[in-house]
Amino acid sequence: MKFNNKNKSSIKLVSLSFPGRDLSLAPVSIKSYILKDKEIAKNYTVEIAQYEIGASDEEILQDLSDTNVDLYGFTTYVWNLDKILLLAKILKKNLPRTTIVLGGPEASGLAETILRKHIYVDYIFKGEGEVAFRTFLSSTNRNDVPGLVYRNNTAIVSNPESELKNLDELALPYENEDYRNFLNKSESTVRAAIETSRGCPFSCAYCTWGERKMRYFSLEKLKPAFKFLFNHPKVRTIYITDSNPFLRKERSLKLLKFLIKHNFRKKPITFEVSPEYLTNESIVELISQLNNEEFAFGVQSTSPEVLKRIKRKFDANLYRKNIQLIRKRNSAVEFWFSLIIGLPGDNYSQFLDSTEFVLKLKPEGIYFHELLCLPGSDLHKSPEKYGIEYMQEAPHKLVKNKTFPQREYDRAKSLAYLIYLIHRTPNLSEKFYNLYKQNNSPNYRLVDYYVRFLEFLQGQFDILGGKSIQDISSWFFEQKVSDFLVDPTNTDQLAHLYLSFKRKVTV
């Protein structure tokens, strides 16, 4: 598909990222893959442009606006779609002949809706973008392009997706000149991302990864990529982006041994994994040797009813066993766990049960997330089946859950904020645990002491700083707590009130 009569058409792949990150993997991989085609390399120039999500629209537009650019391709996520749509709208207005293309998980899940509502968006790619984008540039027939969603007169056409079978055909980040230049020129160290596989064999209802066939990069392909990241001075930490990187036993053992052996600078290697899927003790032992200062593990819920509804596996005994094993092998590691507020079938009582399970694991902290119904997930596709309603616009937050009334939801969220605050206040979470152990009351669980403390604070101390819990998103708990702890009078008062509370409950 040619966009003009010039010798070469110009493509600009755009990403909006958080501070402290490397160059986004999607445009890097797409550029490397499409330029392997000699005809495309002869007919197109491809540039990558990345901006921090907090950059002003004016600053980004001034940099992007170029009458020579024929196509802008944006990578969208739940946290940047609104900004990208605004940028795309202005670019199309100022440069009406340019082509606007969206890809990424958010646009994939909302493709038809976006094309109906936003006439300035020309095409959307659903699913993986490498093969799709290459075919889009090399074919004259839009029907041939896998995953392409486009307008055909008044109809919206959505082509079937396609997945690359052999991941070794893709370039890993370090093989791309743009990526290497980005790291070399970075003014500060970054968190570098790498994927070792694609797909997910599970089918959690709130996730968009589920039921996609697992495919893996070969270890020989991955080894020089990890060595590059280990040795680069601008790489602070390494994040493996896989849905679950250690599912295959033999492969996992080989990869982990390699990472431990060659990480001479002891850089933290982070990833997301659920301990109940780690059924091999040797893998757990190797994970504990990765020199990580912190592990973050998802729990989401321990309720059998909720787990059944969202099609998620959970084995409490195996979970505890693996956490204990990692702690035994590496006593310095910090554990953070995550819970979701508002899952289908959940309620305040069951939420307390889930929180109790996590608290008794003695974590450094808990990440509480309000439920998002991400486009492409089963929750987003069939909300009526789950008895929920959600925001149609990003970030698609839960609006209503018939099993979790608003009043209970607010109580759960208030408790979540308090727990986050207590675990960020030096030594306070340990005091709650000791209080629970010392009292040894059959009537009170550990979580109940947090609940009682929240009730005790009512009318005595406003830990929300004049805000309502409904006004504070769980994504901003960290910032809100940080602001609270900056003022030493707040921590002094919290400590004083804890002592009063302790005297009251131990009488």
pLDDT at 506 over 90: no
- Residue 172 in any domain: the answer is no
In this structure, the answer to whether residues 36 and 105 fall within a common structural domain is yes
Q: What is the pLDDT of residues 41-90, one digit of tens each?
A: 999 999 999 999 999 999 999 999 988 999 999 999 999 999 999 999 99
| Residue 148 structural domain | 9-158
Q: Which two tokens stand for residue 91?
A: 């670019």
pLDDT at 5 over 70: no
Q: What's the CATH number where 49 sits? A: 3.40.50.2300
pLDDT attached to residue 331: 84
Q: What is the pLDDT of residues 106-118, one digit of tens each?
A: 999 999 999 999 9
Q: How would you write 303-323 as a 3-class SS string?
A: CHHHHHHHCCCCCHHHHHHHH
- Residue 474 in any domain: the answer is yes
Mean pLDDT score across all residues of the chain: 94
DSSP 21: B
> What number is the average pLDDT over the span 239-246?
91
Picking from 381, 404, 427, the residue at the C-terminal end of a domain is 404
CA distance 111 to 126: 7
| CA dist 363 → 325, 423, 433 (Å) | 14, 8, 11
In this structure, the answer to whether residues 196 and 127 fall within a common structural domain is no
pLDDT attached to residue 152: 93
- Residue 167 in any domain: the answer is no
In this structure, the answer to whether residues 154 and 238 fall within a common structural domain is no
pLDDT band at 330 (very low <50, low <70, confident <90, very high): confident
CA distance 503 to 507: 6
> What number is the average pLDDT over the span 229-247?
94
Picking from 137, 158, 179, the residue at the C-terminal end of a domain is 158
pLDDT at 6 over 80: no
Structural contact between residues 69 and 61, judged by C-beta atoms closer than 8 angstroms: no
Structural contact between residues 279 and 233, judged by C-beta atoms closer than 8 angstroms: no
Number of domains in the chain: 3
Half-sphere exposure of 332 (CA within 13 A, CB side): 5
In this structure, the answer to whether residues 396 and 459 fall within a common structural domain is no
pLDDT band at 293 (very low <50, low <70, confident <90, very high): confident
pLDDT at 255 over 90: yes
- Residue 173 in any domain: the answer is no
In this structure, the answer to whether residues 288 and 372 fall within a common structural domain is yes
pLDDT attached to residue 340: 97
In this structure, the answer to whether residues 399 and 441 fall within a common structural domain is no
Q: What is the pTM of this model?
A: 0.90
Q: What is the pLDDT of residues 268-290, one digit of tens each?
A: 999 888 777 788 889 989 998 88
In this structure, the answer to whether residues 335 and 258 fall within a common structural domain is yes
Picking from 351, 377, 404, the residue at the C-terminal end of a domain is 404
Q: How would you write 98-150 as a 3-class SS string?
A: CEEEEECHHHHHCHHHHHHHCCCCCEEECCCCHHHHHHHHHCCCHHHCCCEEE
In this structure, the answer to whether residues 71 and 27 fall within a common structural domain is yes
Q: What's the CATH number where 364 sits? A: 3.20.20.70
Structural contact between residues 105 and 208, judged by C-beta atoms closer than 8 angstroms: yes
- Residue 361 in any domain: the answer is yes
Q: Which of 23, 47, 25 is nearest to 35 (CA)?
A: 47
Can you spell out the DSSP letters for 450-479? HHHHHHHHTTT--TTTT--GGGS-GGGHHH
Give residues with Cβ within 8 angstroms of 44, minimum separation 6: 8, 9, 10, 11, 34, 35, 137
pLDDT at 37 over 70: yes
- Residue 166 in any domain: the answer is no
pLDDT band at 4 (very low <50, low <70, confident <90, very high): low
Q: What is the pLDDT of residues 151-183, one digit of tens each?
A: 998 899 999 998 899 999 999 999 999 999 999
CA distance 377 to 78: 13
- Residue that is written with structure tokens 């492409």 in the block: 376
pLDDT at 507 over 70: no
- Residue 251 in any domain: the answer is yes
DSSP 372: B
> What number is the average pLDDT over the span 283-303?
89
In this structure, the answer to whether residues 261 and 384 fall within a common structural domain is yes
pLDDT at 2 over 60: no
Q: What is the pLDDT of residues 176-206, one digit of tens each?
A: 999 999 999 999 999 999 999 999 888 899 9
pLDDT at 17 over 90: yes
In this structure, the answer to whether residues 456 and 495 fall within a common structural domain is yes
pLDDT attached to residue 372: 95
For residue 401, give the 3-state DSSP assignment.
strand
In this structure, the answer to whether residues 305 and 194 fall within a common structural domain is yes
In this structure, the answer to whether residues 440 and 390 fall within a common structural domain is no
pLDDT attached to residue 208: 86
- Residue 184 in any domain: the answer is no
